[in-house]
Amino acid sequence: METQTRVIGHRTPRVDGEYKLTGKADYTVDWQAEAMLYGYPVPASIAHGNLVALHLEEALAMPGVVEIFYDGNFPELSRSPNSMAHQDQVSEVRLPFEDSRIHYAGQYVALVVAESFEQARAAAQAVRAEYRQDAGAIGSLLDSEADGQPLEAKRQVRGDADGAFEQAPVKLDQTYSIAAESHMQMEPHATLAEWRDNRLIVHESTQGVIYQQKAMARVFGLAEEDVEVISHYIGSGFGNKLFMWPHAVATVAAARELGRPVKTVLPRQQDMTCGGNRPASRQRLRLAADEQGKLLSIHHDSATETSLVHTFVDAIGSVSPSLYACDNVAISQHLLEVNHGTPCPMRGPGETSGIFALECAMDELAIALNMDPLELRRRHDSRDDPAKGLPWSSKHLDACYDSAARRFGWARRDPVVGSMTEGDEILGWGMATSSWFAGRQPCAARVELRADGSIMAACGTQDIGTGTYTVIAQTVAELTGVAIEHIEVRLGESSLPAGPLSGGSMATATTLPAVAKAVRAAIDELKEVATAENGAFAGADPETLTLEDGALLDEQGKRASFSEILTDHKLGSVNGDGDTAPGDERKQYSFRSFGAHFVEVRWDPGISRIRVARVVSSFDIGRAINPATARNQVEGSIVMGIGMGLLEKLEYDPRDARLINNNYSDYIVTCHADMPEIDVELLDNPDYAFNEFGARGVGEIGLTGVAPAIANAVHHATGKRIRDLPITIDKLL
């Protein structure tokens, strides 16, 4: 049911904007503790072998050095059971300094703790290690012929894909690859650990305060309530801050052993080797069609990387059975253990990589059929979820295609390769479909209506820069009529009611219903107070009172504000708690967001320059709670997609599996000069089957489909079909 909203669905400036601009926002790195020490990890310089000896004498004698932890003196800890369900997942199951085995270059062999950061760093550089190097280190799946172990759990089949492919008149069989990528979030991983009596307080730049609290409790043998994890502001995460990393465990242990707070901030090199990455992938796509262009089969066989310190599965084929109407589908996945720091989720994990291969293959199939690539997709727009056999809760992909194609000018595209020119440049126009699942998690929240007329809303989730503070404030404002500047939102503390990870683009759809429930519970409480003896509405039936602009009204139109009601009763506040979880809607519908990207690239053959000149995109994400922050998310994703398409690649030395470009100057990301015109449209079709606000969430979807749209545009401009990302200039010569 459509409802009029005053705050939700409208552009509200970020409530934390002023804090960020004025430096008041307390990021982890900004925290100082009394008598604090600094940790600096020592990275292994080999990728595969054993640590034979560590020479610490010189480093220990250096100024300010307090202690050096390594496998010889590190305390015994417990491995976390590591489960998503119990919310104690860690990124690396191996504990720091667990034994002398080295599984990847950069793995910590010691942690130096000193009085200053500079002293810790200098001493870390003075630690000398001797190794026994084993042969056969694999830095990248793409350097290996092998695909690794088959993952039976990822196998999905419907219909008879093999048979359909065998008999089809038009076939495509191609292999695509994507280099491993780094998250390159601005704020590095950082931990400040402080023990007060037997309580542990950890400031951590994390996408999951509750997850880290539980993981710390397991590893250090503490009750959960004796661990507090704080993360008020985060300089983004993109998935590499979802779960706890070894630097945090080592830092907490050091603080306990030394009886002083310890802060460790990873330098960029270590952030890139020990702080997660998107795994490289190799994907074989087979598509078959009849001569009229009906898709008869999809085979999507992929291999992705995991590490020797964790089993990470990037769900790379997960969207292929759902994106298009097709009766015969077969999906498989292999997993190869490589000698680099463990991969982990990275923005749009799995689907971003999978959609690259699928959407390039669709473009190639369209060309083989002599059909417009947009038309091929339109014809296969799935009206229900073919993988689940359930209707989509709400799907407007056709409207995305229509609108983005019109704004882009797709009808003017001449399909002949290299035929569209302007000055020295050849224009390439390509498009791709975009998609990301919509999920919800259980969530609790608390709301306090205060006598001073302000409202506080609290949830044990965090704002990773996406606007969670703001959308929660908007929700409270919408439901109470209280102005946004009188609403305080508290996030980023594990002691608050348990909220979700900031991940999977699920935080908005997860937190808002819980906050709403808490608001209503607080208002019910207020009505009880107001109708009690001596209350503003003494004797009235609470049910007859209505709410308007921060006040209660009775049927006669008498009005009393929250503040008056509470003040009359000499109450400081009333509280409400809300607890929500996804429900039966998942049995009725399949929930997914969709979109389309249209990209113009320009290739200047005279100077061998390729650039993205224009991106026009439309998204069907349900309702955007805040179109300003939602658009910002998607634009950021598009910028990331340009990096994925043209620039980003973690390069591992094929001889010894060491990461070569472990810094911001050699790992190339999109910068301002690379920025095209970006025209993003968010359709407004609230998905009330998903939650009362109609929001499916937004963020990661923007990244899916960008890289294939670029690759398809590059083909249109140059005639070169580049099937491995990134499309660097050398591949076009």
Q: How far apart are CA 56 and CA 717, in angstroms?
A: 58
Q: At residue 426, what is the residue type?
A: I
Of residues 183 and 614, the one with the C-beta less far from ligand MOS: 183
Q: Please, what's the b/e burial string for 415-444 (b: 16 or more CB within 10 A of its CB; e: otherwise)?
A: eeeeebeeeebbbbbbbbbbbbbbbbbebb
Active site residue 700: yes
Q: Which of 204, 228, 648, 700 is catalytic?
A: 700
Smallest distance, ligand MOS to C-beta of residue 232, A? 18
Of residues 27 and 410, the one with the C-beta less far from ligand MOS: 27
Q: Which helix (H) or strand (E) holds 408?
A: helix 397-408
Question: Which residues of 311-437 form beta strands (DSSP E)?
Answer: 329-338, 384-385, 390-391, 421-422, 425-437
Smallest distance, ligand MOS to C-beta of residue 237, A? 6
Smallest distance, ligand MOS to C-beta of residue 280, A? 16
The DSSP annotation for 315-331 comes to -TTTTHHHHB--S-EEE
Smallest distance, ligand MOS to C-beta of residue 271, A? 15
Q: How far apart are CA 171 and CA 296, in angstroms?
A: 10
**Bridge-partner residues for 428, per DSSP?**
601
Retrieve residue 153's tokens: 């759990």
Collapsing DSSP to helix, strand or coil, 469 comes out as helix
Q: DSSP code of 463?
A: -
Q: How far apart are CA 725 and CA 660, in angstroms?
A: 18
Q: DSSP code of 460?
A: B
Q: How far apart are CA 484 and CA 463, in angstroms?
A: 17
Nearest to 86 by CA among 220, 229, 214: 214
- For residue 564, CA distances in Å to 137, 450, 535, 539, 550 come to 71, 10, 10, 17, 10
Q: Find the distance separating the first CA and the last CA of the chain, reported in whole Å.
A: 56
**Which residue, judged by CB position, is nearest to ligand MOS in the bound state?**
239
Contact residues for ligand MOS, defined by CB under 6 A: 207, 237-239, 242, 345-347, 349, 503-504
Of residues 129 and 639, the one with the C-beta less far from ligand MOS: 639
Of residues 352 and 563, the one with the C-beta less far from ligand MOS: 352
Of residues 179 and 295, the one with the C-beta less far from ligand MOS: 179
Of residues 640 and 717, the one with the C-beta less far from ligand MOS: 640
Of residues 314 and 448, the one with the C-beta less far from ligand MOS: 314
Smallest distance, ligand MOS to C-beta of residue 77, A? 26
Smallest distance, ligand MOS to C-beta of residue 346, A? 5
Smallest distance, ligand MOS to C-beta of residue 695, A? 16
Q: How far apart are CA 589 and CA 393, in angstroms?
A: 5
Of residues 408 and 437, the one with the C-beta less far from ligand MOS: 437
Q: CB of 494 within 8 A of CB of 210?
A: yes
Smallest distance, ligand MOS to C-beta of residue 276, A? 9
- For residue 10, CA distances in Å to 95, 623, 625 come to 46, 10, 7
Among all residues, which ones are annotated catalytic?
700
